[in-house]
DNA sequence: ACCTTTGTTAACCATTTGGTTAAACCAAAC
DNA sequence: GTTTGGTTTAACCAAATGGTTAACAAAGGT
């Protein structure tokens, strides 16, 4: 058989599709461009993935699967809220600085099609916030933290980490920063975001 | 003349274009859909705006012009940092809750075409962060605030306000909140975001 | 009344786009 | 060495899409 290539080609397609979809989104992406990027014939895309929609879903699932474990870290490990926040903000910001298109892509496409989230929620490994909420409530009760809802704290942590990535073109304009200076700004945030949050919530 | 309609039609087109572009983005929007939404013939879109690109730019400029004055409020009025933050977070979050597609649209399209920002920057009325930076530095020196860079504080304020809007489908999934509960969560933020920030920076 | 200008429409056009097909290709099984 | 069956390609197709055109309608000026 012409094997030897089977999984190789499929993987090449997925990589090319990731690149193009994450850069241009579902609507802006072109099957021909993905084929070119993969260095193969356009018919192969349909041979392996049937349709643009299914190829897109493969890419989206993959992207989401890269983000989920990071969230489970802050939500489910056993250290104190303060330690979790310090570790998470640092590691997570490092990660999305290395993959800035991931959060842009996920958030943009979830806005385009909110039904997507319904499918995601049912999947195993979908982050659950329950433990985090309980823990925050406990530390508030113990007087370690100022009163705050777990949901709100969780939102704040994500916001402070992710927003500077997804809104980077806008923020660069506001603070008059070029790429290198903006990178420096983000580097600072790897530790300063945690300090900011801890100051805000520590009793 | 077939007048009586001139400016009326042009305005109708712009309103329809806003609706469709802000919902679907440049790539997802269709000229026919905009025409249908406006209840007119597709040729009229080109009669008044020449091309999809120019119509889009009209919508984008309009959208940006709605956001800019709000930012100039926090950046340029004369009250203390604490007062500015309390006022801004409340007013701005109220505003974008009423117009959730505005920040989604602006950020998405700036990511799609970062060159856009170059044009924006040259326009008069483009927010400048200089005064805010000076003021933060002064209050830090006076011992009113903990040490923090003006840029970082500005980014944090925007992040905490805007992120819950642009990432709403994702956050709704994480916190298992339906629309009504999520609205309640955002309502809380109108005051709690300010408390959070003030706690974080007050010396 | 007639012409000119502006607004509006239906029909049309060229190109792009996602998707299909039929044939060629190629490595292994026999 | 021929058959076999998955893989790959060039060519093709129908629908969608941004944009154009030619004719028409309404109104004002003269």
Smallest CA–CA distance from B108 into chain A, residue:
A108
pLDDT of B5 strictly over 70: no
User: Which pTM does this prediction carry?
Assistant: 0.94
Chain A environment of B104 (Cβ under 8 Å): 111
A52 CA, C20 C1': Å apart: 14
Three-state SS across A101-160?
HHHHHHHHHHHHCCCHHHHHHHCCCCCCCHHHHHHHHHHHHCCCECCCCHHHHHHHHHHH
Contact (CB<8Å) B175/A167: no
Write down the pLDDT at residue A75: 87
Q: Under a CB-based contact definition with an 8 Å cutoff, are residues A55 and A45 in contact?
A: yes
pLDDT of A190 strictly over 60: yes
Write down the pLDDT at residue A5: 52
A–B interface: beta-carbon pairs under 8 A: 149
For chain A, how big is the Rg over CA atoms in Å? 20
Q: What is the pLDDT of residues A75-91, one digit of tens each?
A: 888 999 999 999 999 99
Nucleotides of D under 7 A from a protein CB: 4-11, 16-22, 25-28
Q: What is the pLDDT of residues B42-64, one digit of tens each?
A: 999 999 999 999 999 999 999 99
Write down the pLDDT at residue A1: 41
Chain A environment of B169 (Cβ under 8 Å): 110-111, 114, 116-117
Of the candidates A87, A77, A73, A38, the one whose C-alpha atom is nearest the C-alpha of residue A198 is A87
Distance CA B194, CA B192 (A): 5
pLDDT of B1 strictly over 60: no
Q: Is B106 helix (H, G, I), strand (E, B) or coil?
A: helix
Write down the pLDDT at residue A45: 97
Q: What is the pLDDT of residues B88-124, one digit of tens each?
A: 999 999 999 999 999 999 999 999 998 888 888 888 7
């Amino acid at each position: 058989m012409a094997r030897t290539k089977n999984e190789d080609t499929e993987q090449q397609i997925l990589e090319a599709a990731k690149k193009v979809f994450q850069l241009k989104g579902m609507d802006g992406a072109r099957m021909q461009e993905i084929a070119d990027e993969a260095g193969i014939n356009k018919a192969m895309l349909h041979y392996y993935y049937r349709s643009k929609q299914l190829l897109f879903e493969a890419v989206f699932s993959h992207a989401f699967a890269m983000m989920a474990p990071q969230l489970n870290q802050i939500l489910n490990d056993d250290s104190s809220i303060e330690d979790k926040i310090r570790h998470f903000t640092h590691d997570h910001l490092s990660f999305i600085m290395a993959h800035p298109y991931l959060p842009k892509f996920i958030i943009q496409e979830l806005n385009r099609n909110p039904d997507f989230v319904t499918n995601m929620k049912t999947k195993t490994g979908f982050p659950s916030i329950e433990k985090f909420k309980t823990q925050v409530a406990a530390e508030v009760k113990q007087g370690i933290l100022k009163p705050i809802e777990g949901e709100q704290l969780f939102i704040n942590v994500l916001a402070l980490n992710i927003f500077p990535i997804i809104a980077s073109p806008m923020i660069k304009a506001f603070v008059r920063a070029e790429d290198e200076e903006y990178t420096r700004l983000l580097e600072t945030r790897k530790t300063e975001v945690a300090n900011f949050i801890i100051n805000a919530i520590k009793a």
